[in-house]
Structure 1
Amino acid sequence: MSEAEELHDPARAAAAVRTRVPARLDRLPWSRWHWRVVIGLGTVWVLDGLEVTIVGNMAGRLAEHGSGIAITTAQVTTWAAALYVAGACCGALVFGRLTDLFGRKRLFMVTLAVYLGATAVSALSWTAWFFFLCRFATGFGVGGEYAAINSAIDELIPARLRGRVDLVINGTFWAGAAVGSLASIALLNTAWFATDLGWRLAFAIGVVLGLVILLVRRHVPESPRWLFTHGRAAEAERLVDEIERSVTARTGRPLPPAEGELTIRPRGPIAFGTVARTVFRQYPKRTVLGLALFVGQSFLYNSVTFGYAAILTTFFQVPDGRTGYYFAVIAVGNLLGPLLLGHLFDSVGRRPMIAGTYLLSGVLLFGTAALFRHGALDATTMTACWVGVLFFASAGASAAYLTVSEIFPLEIRALCIAFFYAVGTALGGITGPLLFNGLVSSGRPGDTTLAFCIGAGLMVAAGLVEAAIGVKAERLPLEQLAAPLTAVTDT
């Protein structure tokens, strides 16, 4: 019996559900309700940027006598960084699976709680092994956030705005990085805070801000798209009714008709075998694309985030307490990329913009490597070069998360985000800090130049992959890009 025949079979008709929920969500005008979603879900990246940057900048202080923790600078910039990323990979896979099973809302509350708890305990660290454990646990929560948040955002934001909103939200990491860089300058000033106190207060800042976000996040609803694919169609319809009433009350204008209907038949949990067949057999080119984008940006960003302070202190004799100024400038450049270029991903298109940003950042980094190798840069001009590189790289990196969150079916969306994040980050984000910091710590310009060229080569390679097999996803409904596994089609 075909799926269409099953739909009209009286014995099975009740199992099939027709819905206009996706079309109703995609035709909504931008409103205060959407701002609530963005603030509740997106602002956690500010916390992530804040903490990662502070930890990177406090490496030298943690290693000082009297810091209250027995640890070396190399351990902070290499092993603590790698364990943070390893925890994020594990957390993404665990929470990604749970997000698809139990819903976006339930899990994005749990992941934030894990993140906050681990961050708070990090402030109590007294020895290297405990600090490593805390960094792994913090990363575990962050990885879960990537899966739960990106899937929820893409399912709640209208298709015509999905690209720019997703890019800006992921780019806010750098707003936190800028704040973290400046905060580290004050917190590491021993005239204001004792050597063993300032770095502990840095973690406390993240906890306080996170608690505020947790309160706002309570008001963000479950994804109606997730609800109707999990046998809760009536609840999804009621939720969209409430959203429409809220939007209409704010705008004072009637909504246009929702065009497009989807028929689905809810099913039980998706087995890993089905997930593997969908990812590797049904969408093999998209799988290659996602891995290429993630490996390139992950190597570059995890290396720079955890290692730029070491470059400044090793080659340009910048004092530990002043590296935050330079990193704040880099963070602003990263933030401006998605803010200024984001709308082009919805208008010009995904493929030209993603390929262009990856390729431009790679070419500029090759140029930076050449200038550095010939001794033509100082701390200020090196930072200026990196601002140019990361202005484009930041938009491209944010687009990597956008890509994998919109080109796979809804029922496995969070797990797909988790898979690409975990594999790409394991290859680029764990090896990146280890290799990058190992080369930088040698003190030889040639070794650091090699590290730059590896990052540039990976970005260029990812850009070429996007140019060849990128998906035209701009302004298209998620269900048109990848039909839900529960969808019923007429044959």
Structure 2
Amino acid sequence: MPERTETHSRTVTTKVPARLDRLPWSRWHWMIVIGLGTVWILDGLEVTVVGSIASRISEDGSGLSITDAQVTGVAAALYVAGACSGALVFGRLTDLYGRKKLFLVTLGVYLAATALTAVSFSAWWFFLFRFLTGFGIGGEYAAINSAIDELIPSKYRGRVDLIINGSFWIGAVAGALLSVLALNTEIFPASVGWRLTFALGVVLGLVILLVRRHVPESPRWMMVHGRTEEAEALVSDVERRVEAEKGVRLPDPEEAISVTQRKDIGFGEIARTVFRSYPRRAVLGLSLFVGQAFLYNAITFGFGSILVTFFGVSSGVTGYYFAVVAFLNFLGPLLLGRLFDTVGRRPMISGTYILSGLLLFGTAWLFGAGRLTAVTMTACWCVVLFFASAGASSAYLTVSEIFPMETRAMAIAFFYAVGTAAGGISGPLLFAGLTSSGVVSDAVIAFCVGAALMVAAGLVAVFYAVAAEGRSLEQIAAPLSTAEPAPAKTV
């Protein structure tokens, strides 16, 4: 890891945050979105493909001696464990060494691990590189969300963050359809098709890496790490580009802040800040992540087995059903995202959580009463997840904007890791037996548990959600390095 830039402790007064927040939407912002946001498509592709092609990998002739249970059980758990570990490790490094270094490193880890998964020759090799693939993806969540929120103007931050996080489901649609193609042995031999699905992830990742090389470091991060001249030059260059593109002169920035530059913030101070200085926000973050994790596992973990067991759907076509559900998941953040910036965070976060929970309760009742078919069950899931997806995406937005800048990546990593562990470990342990037992009442219990936790999280948001819409990150949570204004160089 490159050494951090040496700095002397000094106080600077800067308008860098205000200058970034006043920018109109431009081609430069599209470059940020494409370079950083598209990795969620890869995550959705990864998760969906592995679950869908498990039956093919475990068959004789696949070139890999592994069972279906090992693919969907051991490998899936290792991927989740890797994601949690990667989020925590890379989250800390992102706060220390900067956003750009780490979002390049984490994508590199993903690319290498996915490529090596494609050439798996034994179960242990497959398990190892599924863990490392998750390790890279988990690191992406911390590095990318912190960078996006610090680069996108406050006016657009909510909708952009939601749409980017919701793009996971574009990858899920692609993964579901790709799995149907990969399972067709008339097109690909049994030992080749599943390997090509991983190879496609590598190709997409390389394209993203080429774009991402042009995404800059966060000027907000630079301004508190002794790189004020670089931050000033970067923002000035962006301002020139935007003025040339729009043909107008930008208004003068309004608010300046004073910060005392520091090399790093200790882990102990980060923990004290998150849990002692902002206890209600910590409860909010935990509630949102755990609630959405359990709701999604109540539905998606047993999606295929529910259709096959209760409705007699062929396992070879469940991918088409899932593609429809995944598409509606993406439409939620896409169509509702703007309201998080206009109507406001609190009503939209609490509303999407509570409404999706209540709709899932209704779905559970209809299912238990025997009033649903495979098509109408899928339609119910689509409606539930249209709202739940916007709520789940807002969980990432929330924890990335309500804590001080020096703790941002680590806060994202912590809450992501807790939510992912709850949903990816506790969720399957709880829901697997319920959704595959063949007993209608068991599946109803699974739905009701996910629905109850989602409603509970929404009620927490009613009281604890922060009105962050249209406000700069520094107004929502002052940086730990904020100092009293003093005669100093202005940036």
2:211 corresponds to: 216
> Which residue type is aligned with residue 290 of structure 2?
V
Native 8 Å contact 1:91 1:141 kept in 2: yes
Q: Given the alignment, which residue of 379, 382, 386 partners 2:377?
A: 382
AA partner of residue 232 (structure 2):
E
Q: Secondary structure at the match of 1:160?
A: coil
Deviating more after overlay: 74-83 vs 269-278: 74-83
Residue of structure 2 equivalent to 1:402: 397
Deviations 1:70-126 (A, max 9, x none): 333333223322221111110000000000000000000000111111111111223
Native 8 Å contact 2:9 2:262 kept in 1: no
What residue number does 1:180 align with?
A: 175
- 1:4-19 map, 5 Å: 15-19=10-14
Of 256, 278, 284 in structure 1, the residue corresponding to residue 251 of structure 2 is 256
Deviation at 1:437, TM superposition (A): 1.9
| Contact 2:301/2:431, CA 8 A, preserved across alignment | no
Letter in 1 for 2:484: T
Give secondary structure in 2 for the equivalent of 1:343: helix
State whether structure 2 residue 212 is matched by structure 1 residue 205.
Answer: no
Match among 220, 223, 228 for residue 228 of structure 1: 223
Q: Which amino acid aligns with 1:362?
A: G
The 3 A distance-change label for structure 1 pair 305 and 290 is same
- 1:20 aligns to what? 15
Q: Which position in structure 2 is the counterpart of 1:278?
A: 273
Task: Tell me which of 297, 306, 315 is aligned to 1:311.
Answer: 306
What SS does the aligned partner of 1:196 have? coil
Where in structure 2 are the equivalents of 1:217-366 lying within 5 Å? 217-302=212-297, 304-366=299-361
In the alignment, which residue of structure 2 is the partner of 1:159?
Answer: 154
Query: Is 1:95 aligned to 2:90, yes or no?
Result: yes
Q: CA deviation at 1:306?
A: 4.1
Q: How does 1:34-113 map to 2 (within 5 A)?
A: 34-113=29-108
Give the direction of change, closer, same or farther, for the CA distance of 1:252–1:98 in structure 2 (3 Å limit): same
Tell me which moved more, 185-194 or 23-32: 185-194
Q: Name 2:411's counterpart in structure 1.
A: 416
By how many angstroms is 1:367 displaced?
1.2
1:309-329 alpha-carbon deviations (Å, 9 max, x no partner): 222223223223211100110
C-alpha displacement of 1:254: 0.6
CA distance in 2, matches of 1:159, 1:274: 27
CA distance in 2, matches of 1:307, 1:375: 18
Q: Which moved more, 1:310-319 or 1:188-197?
A: 310-319
Structure 1 match to 2:3:
none
1:125 aligns with 2:120: yes
Opposite residue 82 of structure 2, the aligned amino acid is: G
Contact 1:81 1:306 (C-alpha < 8 Å) held by counterparts: no
- Which sits farther off after the overlay, 28-37 or 366-375? 366-375
Q: Tell whether the 8 Å contact from 2:84 to 2:417 is kept in structure 1 after alignment.
A: yes
Question: In the alignment, what sits opposite 1:8?
Answer: none
Q: Do the aligned partners of 2:13 and 2:485 also contact (CA within 8 Å) in 1?
A: no
State how far apart, in whole Å, the 2-side matches of 1:373 and 1:65 are. 38
> Residue 490 of structure 1: CA displacement?
5.5
Runs of 5+ unmatched residues, structure 1: 1-12
**Is 266-275 or 254-263 further displaced after alignment?**
266-275
Question: Deviations for 1:327-352, whole angstroms, at most 9, x for unmatched residues?
Answer: 11001100100010000000000000
Query: CA–CA distance in 1 between the matches of 2:425 and 2:393?
Result: 19
Match of 2:489 in 1: none
User: In the alignment, what sits opposite 2:436?
Assistant: 441
Mapped partners of 1:200, 1:321: distance in 2 = 19
Post-superposition CA distance 1:253-282 (Å, at most 9, x none): 110110100110111321111111101110
Residue 10 of structure 1 corresponds to which residue in structure 2? none
Instruction: Work out whether residues 88 and 142 of structure 1, in 8 Å CA contact, stay in contact via their aligned partners in 2.
Output: yes
* 8 Å CA contact 1:299, 1:425 repeated in 2: no
Which segments of 5 or more consecutive residues in structure 2 lack a partner in the other structure? Answer: 1-7, 487-491
The AA in structure 2 aligned to 1:70 is: S
Q: Deviations over 1:240-259 (max 9, x none)?
A: 01111111111111101101
Please tell me the residue identity of whatever aligns with 1:485. Answer: L
**TM-fit CA distance, 1:65:** 2.6
Q: Does 1:368 align with 2:367?
A: no
Name which of structure 1's ranges 287-296 and 416-425 shifts more when overlaid on structure 2. 416-425
Contact preservation (8 Å) 1:45, 1:170: yes
Q: Secondary structure at the match of 1:17?
A: strand
1:435/1:131 Cα in 2 relative to 1: closer, same or farther (>3 Å)? farther
Does 1:425 pair with 2:425?
Answer: no
Separation in 2 of the partners of 1:195 and 1:466? 48
Query: What SS does the aligned partner of 2:482 have?
Result: coil
Distance 2:381 2:68 in 1: 23
CA distance in 2 between counterparts of 1:65 and 1:328 reads: 27
Normalised by the size of structure 1, how large is the TM-score?
0.95
State the one-letter code of the partner of 1:473: A
